[in-house]
Every structure is written in structure tokens, then in C-alpha cells.
Structure 1
Amino acid sequence: MTPKERIVEQTMEMFVTQGIKSVRMDDIAQRLGISKRTLYELFGDKEGLLYLAMVCYFERNRLRWAELSTAAPNVLERLFLVLNDVMEHSETTSRMMENLRKFYPAVHERLMRGGSEKNRADFREMIEQGIADGLFIDNIDIELAITVLYYTASAITVRKDMILPEGISERSAFTQIVSTFFRGISTAEGARIIDGFLKRQQAAQG
């Protein structure tokens, strides 16, 4: 890891734990033991450093998803593990993205555009793999399926703009919505895998 990458990673941790708005360039310089001038020379301004720190945050998430995926015996369980992890970290992600939207809209827009493209590419690869493995039906509109999954999931995990029925938690709603979506595009074998995975998950949660 280069000195610049180390600064980005440590700054990302500060934004996560202390909040994006409250962390100043002075705070970063003091915490990292470097001059503020060095920060400006390396990153231009706070927005330049903030963007790279947020990219680091989302790349760390993607690495964690890759690690989770190695334990999955098939692409359907891989999808569930990744989406469950998204839900697990949704409060932090939602808070940070909302702060960006309010106080740093240009950074927010840049991240949304780039992140959406990466996430859609990941979902596309997994759905195509599911079709090839006989777990998803082969006559679906893949781009439409990706759009429905992406925007429905983000409505609960990031945007927080889905109005849920009284008495249902976000986690329960997320699980039901995601499992219903995948059942809708699954073959009989895919549906069997979904049911088995959900039963194991329920047993593990007590």
C-alpha cells in the first residue's frame, strides 16, 4: 500500500466512524500526523479526498462480497449472501450516502453513477451464470431483472424511501422481497435451492 492509499484508507475510517460533515481537513492532518498542505497537494481539496475515501469504502465492501462468495456452492446462494451483507451494512451506507447527497452532491452523483454501473455488471454476471447453471429461466429480460432487483433493494438499504407495512422490519421485508424476486425467475431447481437456503438461515437465527 502506498502512502497515498494509506491516507485514503485511514480517512475513510474517520468518515465512517465520525461522520462525513464533521471531519475536517485539519482533523485528518492531525490524526494522520501530516501537514494540511500535503493533503491539499495530494488530493486538491476535501471533495477530492472524500471521493477517493468513498471509493475505498465501496471497494472494501466488494472485497468482502468476493470472500463471502467463495463459500457459496451456487450462484443463487452467492446472491443471497451478498445481498444479506448489503442489508447488514445498510445503516452505515445509507447514512453516508445521505450526508453526501446533502452536503457534497457532486461527489454523491459521481459515486452513484459509477457504483450503479459496477453493481449492475455484478448482478448481470450472476444472473447469466444462474441461467447457464439451470437455476434461472432463460427467457427473462436480464436488464429489466437487474433494474427491478437493484432499485428495489436500494429502496430499503440505501435510499430508505420504501414505506413498509406496520409491524414488519426492514430485514424481514428485504428477505421476503429478494426471495420472492428470485423465485419469480427461478427454475424448479432454483426454487428448491432458495427454500433450502432460507430454512437454514431461519434455523441459524433461532
Structure 2
Amino acid sequence: MQPRIRRQPTARQRRLLGELAELFLAEGFVEFTLDDVAARLHCSKTTLYALAPSKEQLAVKVVAHFFKSAAERIEVRIDGIGDARKIIEVYLAGVSDELNRASDVFMADVAAFEPARATYEMNSKAAAERISAFIAKGVADGVFRDVHATLIAEMAGLLIDGIQTGIVRARAGVTDAEAFTALSELLLGGLRPH
């Protein structure tokens, strides 16, 4: 038996994923049926099944598409920036901007649906790793005071986990986007040389 080869999505499928992401970001995904989605996007259910074999798998695929696309846009924003302070500022502003696109119902649906929540968690861990690298670079470049970069990055990672799991939202009454903006302020103020 030959292994199944994953095909890259066609241009039409990529466009449809983008449209699905915009719909889900605005209105969530739990309450939609495949019939609802097909009607809203003026396509057939067969077209949707070509993307994923079930509504649940389609939701996961769209959530993953959103986070992957967001990460790519953020990386473009920081490309070519040499100063670690500016990288962190622009990176976390990018995270905040991307999450600002997500409605409360979308975030609630992600939190309530374990496979989608796992996708968010994976992306949060990747963000924590990126921030760790930026902090280490800033310390090495002398733009941040000499701190235990791994410890600070781990603390930032714990805050990112708290944002991702909804704890910060529940306790502080802020959106995830606002929490990432505050994280940027905290990091940049705390790492500033004396």
C-alpha cells in the first residue's frame, strides 16, 4: 500500500479557506452546519468536503489556516528589523492585530473545541519560542540588560499560555489582543537597561 500523498490546495481552495476564515473569525464556527457554510460561501458541500471530510475537521483546518496565515504576516512585519526591542514590539503588535480580527464568539468556539484549542496552543508555544529567541538576541546585542533570558522567556511563555487558555481574559477582563499588547509593554519595560 502506497502512502497517501498530500496535495497542496488549489488556488480556489486557498481562496475558499480565506473566506471561511473571515466568516469564522466574525461569527464563530460551532453553530454553523455544512449546509449553512455552503450557502454563505455560494459553494457546494462537495467543495467543502474536498477541503475536509467533516465539519469538525473543516473547522480545525480553517483555524489552522488562520493561525498559519497570521504567523506568516507577522514574520513579514519583523523581517529585516535588527533591533531586538523593535522586533518584540512589532512581533507582539502583530499578534495583537491578528487576534483583534477574531470575534469573541470565534475565541469561545476555539476554547470549547479541543482540536481547535490544540491548534491555538501549538501556535502560542511557537510564539513563546520566538520571543525567547528575541530576548536572547537582545541580551547578546546589549540592548537588554543582562537577565536570565531563558527564565524571562519562560515567564513570557506562561503568560502566553494564560492568554491562550482564557485565564487572562477571565481574570483581567481583557481580550487576547489587549493581553498581548500588555505583554509587550511588560517585556520591553522590564528588559530595558538601567
Q: TM exceeds 0.5?
A: yes
Determine the C-alpha separation between the residues in 1 that align with 2:97 and 2:186.
Answer: 19
Which residue is 1:85 aligned to?
94
Whether 1:127 aligns to 2:135 is yes
Say if 1:87 and 1:157 are closer, same or farther in 2 by CA, change over 3 A.
farther
**Structure-2 separation of matches of 1:27 and 1:70:** 39
Q: Show the counterpart of 1:149.
A: 156
With a CA cutoff of 8 Å and minimum separation of 6, indicate the structure with the bigger relative contact order: 2
Distance 1:7 1:169 in 2: 28
The RMSD of aligned alpha carbons is 3.3
> Are the counterparts in 2 of residues 97 and 158 from structure 1 also a CA contact under 8 Å?
no
**Deviation string, structure 1 residues 80-99 (Cα, Å, up to 9, x no partner):** 12222333444544722321
- Structure-2 residue corresponding to 1:136: 144
The runs of at least 4 aligned residues of structure 1 exceeding 6 Å deviation read 168-174
Q: AA paired with 2:107?
A: M
CA offsets per residue over residues 111-168 of structure 1, 9 Å max, x none? Answer: 13421332122112212221221122445041x322322333564687203337xxx9
SS of equivalent residue, structure 1 residue 37: helix
2:189 aligned with 1:183: yes
Task: Point out where structure 2 has 5 or more consecutive residues left out of the alignment.
Answer: 1-8
Shift of 1:23: 2.9
Specify whether residues 163 and 41 from structure 1 end up closer, same or farther in structure 2 by C-alpha distance, changes over 3 A only.
Answer: closer
Match of 1:200 in 2: none
Please state whether the residue corresponding to 1:44 is helix, strand or coil.
coil
Where does residue 111 of structure 1 map in the other structure?
119
- Counterpart for residue 17 of structure 1: 26
Q: 1 CA distance for matches of 2:95 and 2:69?
A: 12
Q: In the alignment, does 2:66 pair up with 1:49?
A: no
Indicate which of 36, 54, 72 corresponds to 2:45: 36
Q: Which residue of 2 aligns with 1:4?
A: 13
1:17-41 deviation per Cα after TM superposition (whole angstroms, max 9, x unaligned): 2322233211222344432134235
User: TM-score, normalised on structure 1?
Assistant: 0.69
Distance 2:46 2:119 in 1: 26
Q: TM-score, structure 2 length as denominator?
A: 0.73
Aligned residue type for 2:14? E
Residues 178 and 35 (structure 1), Cα distance of their counterparts in 2 relative to 1, 3 Å cut: closer
Query: Secondary structure, in 3 states, of the residue corresponding to 1:136?
Result: coil
Corresponding residue pairs, total = 182
- The answer for unaligned runs of 5 or more in structure 1 is 189-206
SS at match of 1:182: helix
What fraction of aligned residue pairs are identical, expressed as a percent?
A: 21
Change (3 A) 1:172 1:33: closer
Matched, 1:100 2:110: yes
